[in-house]
Amino acid sequence: MRKLKNSELNRLSVKAFKEASKLPVVVVLDNIRSLNNIGSVFRTADAFLLEKIYLCGITARPPHRDIQKTALGATESVEWEHQEDTLSCVQNLKQQGYHCLAIEQAEASLMLNDFDRSKHNKIAVVFGNEVKGVQQSVIDTCDHCLEIPQLGTKHSLNISVSAGIVLWELFR
């Protein structure tokens, strides 16, 4: 077994990425503080050909070297938009026919492994602030809360890890 070189991976160019058919999933980042987390979400969105990222509230916007450190250029391929208010963003996405999912531990949350993506054409996933999580007003507006099953002593995952898990599950 031989490890492949980057030149052998047949990756899309930025132009080809922009023209490619996308997975009908958008990401909403609700007041994310860490620029490295933001960059990581961009990179994951690129990997799975997602439609768009909405950077809401205090979430930093490209170009920024600390976002680029983890995005590795994905801010050039993935479409993004800044919105001042997460709640308004989610309300607009619902009006556009997106099934909106807060990634949060909440009463009556649905475990990620029990979610049936095939029942929904367009999906928006909301990831919350590293300390406070998704705002309650946004949770109230979402169609469901998805929760990542966890069995250990800790009650949370880093947002970039959560995004990787959730977006992989929606992709596969």
Give the tens place of pLDDT for each residue, 61-94: 999 999 999 999 999 999 999 999 999 999 999 9
Q: Do the Cβ atoms of 170 and 65 come closer than 8 Å?
A: no
Mean pLDDT of 136-141: 98
Residues 6+ apart with CB under 8 A from 91: 141
Q: Is 117 domain-assigned?
A: yes
Q: Is 46 domain-assigned?
A: yes
pLDDT at 78: 98
Q: How far apart are CA 156 and CA 127, in angstroms?
A: 12
User: Distance of CA 28 to CAs 7, 52, 112, Å?
Assistant: 32, 9, 17
Residues 6+ apart with CB under 8 A from 147: 103, 104, 105, 106, 109, 110, 111, 112
Average per-residue pLDDT for the chain: 97
- Would the pTM of this model clear 0.85, i.e. be above it? yes
Q: Is 11 domain-assigned?
A: no
pLDDT at 86: 98
Q: Is 27 domain-assigned?
A: yes
Q: What is the CATH number of the domain that holds 60?
A: 3.40.1280.10
Is the C-alpha dihedral spanning 15, 162, 126, 36 positive or negative? negative
Mean pLDDT of 139-157: 96
Q: Is 51 domain-assigned?
A: yes
Q: Is 106 domain-assigned?
A: yes
Confidence of residue 9 (pLDDT cuts 50, 70, 90): very high
Identify residue 162 by its one-letter amino acid code: S
- 83-123 pLDDT, tens per residue? 999 999 999 999 999 999 999 999 999 999 999 999 999 99
User: Distance of CA 103 to CAs 47, 65, 107, Å?
Assistant: 20, 27, 12
Q: Which domain holds residue 117?
A: 18-149+156-171
pLDDT at 87: 98
The total of structural domains in the chain comes to: 1
pLDDT at 123: 98
Q: Is 64 domain-assigned?
A: yes
Confidence of residue 21 (pLDDT cuts 50, 70, 90): very high
Q: Is 7 domain-assigned?
A: no
